[in-house]
Copies of this chain bind each other. A is one copy, B any other.
Amino acid sequence: MKNLKFIITYNGTAYNGYQSQPNGNTIQDNLEKCLKLLLNQAVSVNGCSRTDAGVHAREYVFNVKYDETLSGIGIQGIVKGMNALLPDDIAVVSCEEVGEAFHARFDSKGKEYLYLLDNSRERCVFTKDLALPYFYRIDMERMRTAAELIKGEHDFAAFCKAEAKAHLKTTVRTVFDVKIEREDRFVRIYVSGSGFLHNMVRIIAGTLIYVNEGKRNIDDVKEALDGGNREKAGITLPACGLYLNRVFY
């Protein structure tokens, strides 16, 4: 058995998220359909995370194990074949052989997400599903003060989709860093951490913009982190601005 580690990038606009669904319109379904053709056998891929519908990825990692005696194709051929067969909003960035034990999800030491705001009075007609239009003036210092509080180990219960909490043993997670950068009209919020709750990055970004607008203050953020009260955090921002940026191993 060979084990391959892929890095792919995708525009999630047209998909029902990463994870396989009965209707087949997911990233995983497309990957498995192409790999079945190229490797001459049915395979299951192990993705590093389950991104939601409409969420994008700049560097998504998955691995796949297969029987090389059935495939008769090298890594170069697999990459070329994937990029020819996949829809044009999914692309393979790289592929390498790894040890049999490697698993894209279990071996991940953390991930970095990006939330992209288009901070302009005019909407950008070229990034309509790729950034959240945000018209208010941004006070970078105010947002960064709130971002500092979010770093570190906390109970992020207030930063989690309600329905997702019931199944979890703990809502304690560690955020490595929250960085906010501006480049012309675009503001990028980078959130890295060891693990994430459902909607956590979208609620963190939504809290930062609520702080910017004065709908929440610094004490609200502290209370959200201490007391787990969802009302003290901000809105869950839409999927269109969210990117899985990279995965750490």
Q: Which residue of the partner chain, among B10, B125, B128, contacts A125 with CB atoms under 8 Å?
A: B10
With CB as the reference atom, state the residue of chain B lying closest to A8: B125
Q: Residues of B contacting A123 with CB < 8 Å?
A: 83, 88, 91
A91 to B185, CA, bound (A): 16
Candidate in A9, A122, A126, A128 with the most chain B CB atoms within 10 angstroms: A126
Q: Is the CB of B93 within 8 A of A125?
A: no
Instruction: Please report A residues at the B interface, Cβ cutoff 8 Å.
Output: 9-11, 56, 83, 88-93, 122-126, 128, 130
Candidate in A123, A124, A128, A130 with the most chain B CB atoms within 10 angstroms: A123
Q: Is the CB of A90 within 8 A of B125?
A: yes
In the assembled complex, 13 residue pairs joining A and B whose CB atoms fall closer than 8 Å, in A order, are A9-B125, A10-B125, A11-B126, A11-B128, A56-B125, A56-B126, A83-B122, A83-B123, A88-B125, A88-B128, A89-B128, A90-B125, A92-B122
Q: Is the CB of A91 within 8 A of B122?
A: yes
Q: Which 9 A-B pairs have the closest CB atoms?
A: A11-B125, A89-B125, A91-B123, A88-B128, A91-B125, A9-B125, A91-B122, A11-B126, A10-B125
A29 → chain B closest CB, angstroms: 17
A184 → chain B closest CB, angstroms: 13
Candidate in A11, A83, A124, A125 with the most chain B CB atoms within 10 angstroms: A125
Q: Residues of B contacting A122 with CB < 8 Å?
A: 9, 83, 91-93
A89 to B9, CA, bound (A): 24
A62 to B154, CA, bound (A): 55
A186 → chain B closest CB, angstroms: 13
Q: Residues of B contacting A9 with CB < 8 Å?
A: 122, 125
Q: Residues of B contacting A91 with CB < 8 Å?
A: 122-125
A93 to B90, CA, bound (A): 32
Q: Residues of B contacting A125 with CB < 8 Å?
A: 9-11, 56, 88-91
Q: Residues of B contacting A88 with CB < 8 Å?
A: 123, 125, 128
Q: Which residue of the partner chain, among B89, B93, B126, contacts A130 with CB atoms under 8 Å?
A: B126
